[in-house]
Amino acid sequence: MRVPIRKGGKYTYIKPDPYITSEKLAELKIELEKLKKHIHPQLASEVKRLALMGDFSENAAYQIAKGKLRGLNEKISKIEKQIVSAQIIDTKNKADSAQIGALITLEFENNKKQYRILGSLETDPSKGVISYSSPLGQALINKKLGDSVEIKLGDKSVKYKIIKIE
């Protein structure tokens, strides 16, 4: 049976975001080592064991194990590309304008909130980490202390004022 070949879609060839912190880079390296040294050998030996069971076309366990190994190889390849293309974000850099890695304190609707601007691999808005490519992140980049930015959220608009840049 032949597997259908699908045309690549809109999001097929999106390059991964290269901007990461040194902590995230170390995390990726540890994960890569774990995948290569522990999980890959186990899956490879499982595929080898199941291959000895006979006819490949009717060996469902072999097909499943082979698919898992293929997926693991893709994951390893993706992490290796991320590590090679990584551009380290300096979170200790003091700047007079909002840049990637900066900790920005914003005031909006009588509230104060701190956001760290990082790459898309590390975003977690609930912890105050936003991507430089998010609407708020894009609006804040290169703004200075005291500047205001207005973000349209659905049908309403929110005005943020930069009160501190670290």
**CATH number of the domain that residue 142 is part of:** 3.10.50.30
What's the domain range around 53?
19-86
For residue 9, is it within any domain? Answer: no
DSSP for 65-104?
HHHHHHHHHHHHHHHHHHHHT-EE--TT---SB--TT-EE
**Residues 112, 79 share a domain:** no
**Residues 81, 113 share a domain:** no
Q: What are the pLDDT tens digits along the chain (166 aa)?
A: 566 666 666 666 667 789 999 999 999 999 999 999 999 999 999 999 988 887 777 788 888 999 999 999 999 999 999 999 999 998 787 778 889 999 999 999 889 999 999 999 899 999 999 999 999 999 999 999 999 999 988 888 989 999 999 8
Characterize the bridge pairing of strands 103-108 and 87-88: unpaired
Q: For the chain, what is the domain count?
A: 2
**Residues 79, 26 share a domain:** yes
Please report the pLDDT score of residue 92 as a whole number: 80
For residue 5, is it within any domain? Answer: no
Please report the pLDDT score of residue 81 as a whole number: 92
pTM of the model: 0.79
**Residues 24, 82 share a domain:** yes
Token couple for 34: 């774990």
DSSP for 135-157?
HHHHHHTT-BTT-EEEEEETTEE
> Bridge-partner residues for 87, per DSSP?
19
**Residues 25, 77 share a domain:** yes
**Residues 144, 117 share a domain:** yes
For residue 160, is it within any domain? Answer: yes
